[in-house]
Amino acid sequence: RTRQPAAEVAERFAQYEAAKAKRHVVDFDDLLAACAAAIEGDPGFAAAQRWRFRHLFVDEFQDVNPLQFRLLEAWRGDRWDVFVVGDTHQSIYGWNGADPGLLDELGRRWPALETIHLDRTHRSTPQITAAAASVIAAAGLPDRHP
């Protein structure tokens, strides 16, 4: 896999943004950003959205990117009725900006956070679990449960 020079990537991105503007279209990230901006910029709209989405659940949180985290924070407001599930060792969406470190960020931003470690799997055989543990150990990844 070859890396592209930053200037080339920036140029392609600018071309992509220009093509969207010319065609009057948006992509998924544009929708998320617009939604977050609307909630952040309009207290009445924010209150309506927070009433509509009173209970928030995010699965596979390790694959959340900063924009998605921003939207979650906007929806949450000052409420704590949020449930997230994630495992930093299972992050697969780095290409989309996913940041498994946002799981750690939750503890810093949400002081009332309660962490529940699920140490037993019911989806995999002991052999698969042992193989995965050896791969994680060989990769030098930190223990998830210090």
Q: What is the pTM of this model?
A: 0.81
pLDDT digits (tens, 9 = 90+) for 46-62: 999 999 999 999 999 99
Which CATH number belongs to the domain containing residue 91 in this structure? Answer: 3.40.50.300
Instruction: Map residue 69 onto helix, strand or coil.
Output: helix
Is 133 a member of any domain? no
Is 140 a member of any domain? no
Cα 118 from Cα 144, distance rounded (Å): 11
Supply the range of the domain harboring residue 79: 6-119
Is 127 a member of any domain? no
- Count of domains for the chain: 1
pLDDT digits (tens, 9 = 90+) for 85-134: 998 888 899 999 999 999 989 888 888 889 888 877 778 888 988 888 88
